[in-house]
Chain A
Amino acid sequence: MTQGDGDPNLERALSGAAQPPGRDAPAPPSGTDVLARIEACIPALRRYAVALLRRRDEADDLVHDCLARALDKLHTRREEADIRAWLFTIMHNLFISQTRRRRSRPAPESLDDSHESNTGLRATQEDALLWRDLQRGLAMLPDDQRSVLLLISIEDLSYAEAAQVLGVPIGTVMSRLARAREKLREYTGQPGRPALRRVK
């Protein structure tokens, strides 16, 4: 959407809400049509991709590929399946295959500084430092732990949904989540009282 995510014309066009359904037409089984529901998920997919990959350009590539794949597979999707979990699953599978490809060439993990300064407007200098630390810590986590942490902490997926998206048992989700939180806490030196016990 070039005009932001609230373009009313587009919403109307996609949801078909401009005209009421005909008298004889059956009532729609769900509130909005599938394209509108996919569209509503794009900001969250993008947030997840940015947090996962750190680089904006790569993140937008991933979201784009995910949407393209979703359109390819639109007619194979079970109607009752939750669209958000379905999209995150597609994106996770794309991410995994990309990561495998990338492994073959040695690429040092570097933080995208432009992204760091662009992401989030921090109120104070200390907040900014904490945020920087947190992002660095996030970048140090193994991919599988980072995925779990983000899907649960930020995207509000249930443990069962995260297990489904990542294709692992719930127990694995729980142990990855625990390890991710603990590693991140150690890295940022953040106990209950951040200002007192920050290591820097």
Chain B
Amino acid sequence: MSDRIPEADLHAYIDGRLPAERAAEIARLLAQLPESAELVAAYAAQREALRSGFAPVAAEPLPARLNLQAMVAGRLAERRTRWRAAAAVVLAFLVGGAGGWALHGRLAGPPSELTLLAQEAIANHVVYAADRRRPTELGAEQREDLARWVSNRLKHTVAPPDMGPTGFHYMGGRLAATPQGPAGLFMYQDESGRRLSVFVLPMPHMADTAEHMVNVEGMDGCAWIDKGVGYTVVARVSRDELHGLAERVRQEFDSQT
């Protein structure tokens, strides 16, 4: 092949990956090495033929099943279906009495209604916290408007908790849809850009529970039910820190009622 130019440099030259001085040097050498020059020309032609040959593929309209937004929407809907299926299990368990209890015993971990609550909270957190520009419908400056709006829709008076002492400041909030009806989602961010969401869902027929950690696809939520309302705190932090944040949220909501 080439006696005087290292092969790696030939390819880097063809791919435009060399610093300018080295590229100029290679060009000078090639002028004196016709065989290497021919090889470089062949590789470069091959590269160009591949690029132009496959370029039309990237210019085509995408098939419907590669529509990312539809995929995201489909996944949220699927989670809701799972919610409904799991809710049916809970119902069967309530109706099923002794048999239901046996089932309950086998399913160690948090009570199933908390798992359902946390799944919904985590699914919404994943979608909205990833939205760098507009994770909320109403921003921090419309705190009271949002509180009023969410309270009306939830038929339960609720305001975004003040997380100030934890380092998370309020960004805004939105309504989220769940199979159980609308939920409130309050979003916070700390100085390093980590996001925290506080998810509030009325669950009028559910008994109070203690706080439980629920893990959904690698993401932790701390969930509990208090006076017929389900709460979940979600953030990508350690479990200890998440417990601390949940404690703060709990105190804040206690002081609201």
Contact = CB atoms under 8 A, between A and B. Distances in A.
B142 A154 contact: no
Interface stretch (B110-118, B129-137, B158-166): B129-137
A89 to B, nearest CB: 18
Q: Is the interface of A mostly helix, strand, loop or mixed?
A: helix
Interface residues of A, number: 72
A29 B193 contact: yes
Interface in A46-85: 46-47, 50-51, 60, 63-64, 67-68, 71-72, 74-76, 79
Interface string B33-46: 00001110111011
Interface string B1-44: 00000011001100101000000000000000000011101110
Contact of A64 (B52, B66, B189): B66
A47 B11 contact: no
Nearest to B75: A71
B56 A119 contact: yes
A10 B61 CA distance: 14
A198 to B, nearest CB: 12
B66 A190 contact: no
Interface string B104-143: 0000000000000000000000100111111010111110
A177 B9 CA distance: 12
Interface in A17-70: 17-19, 21-26, 28-30, 32-35, 38-39, 42-44, 46-47, 50-51, 60, 63-64, 67-68
A18 B59 CA distance: 26
A14 interface: yes
Interface stretch (A90-98, A101-109, A128-136): A128-136
B27 to A, nearest CB: 15
B57 A47 contact: yes
Contact of A42 (B39, B41, B45, B68): B68
A185 B43 contact: yes
Contacts of B68: 14, 35, 38-39, 42, 67
A167 interface: no
A3 B64 CA distance: 9
B142 A15 contact: no
Interface residues of B, number: 60
B97 interface: no
Contacts of B59: 43
B69 A188 contact: no
B255 interface: no
Nearest to A41: B68
Contacts of A44: 58
B62 A29 contact: no
A165 interface: no
Contacts of B129: 75
A123 B62 CA distance: 24
A5 B61 contact: yes
A140 interface: no
A192 to B, nearest CB: 4
Interface of A: 1-5, 10, 13-19, 21-26, 28-30, 32-35, 38-39, 42-44, 46-47, 50-51, 60, 63-64, 67-68, 71-72, 74-76, 79, 119-121, 130-131, 134-135, 138, 149-150, 152-154, 158-159, 174, 177-178, 181, 184-185, 188, 190-192, 194
12 contacts: A22-B141, A24-B140, A32-B133, A43-B58, A74-B126, A75-B236, A149-B50, A154-B51, A158-B17, A181-B46, A192-B39, A192-B42
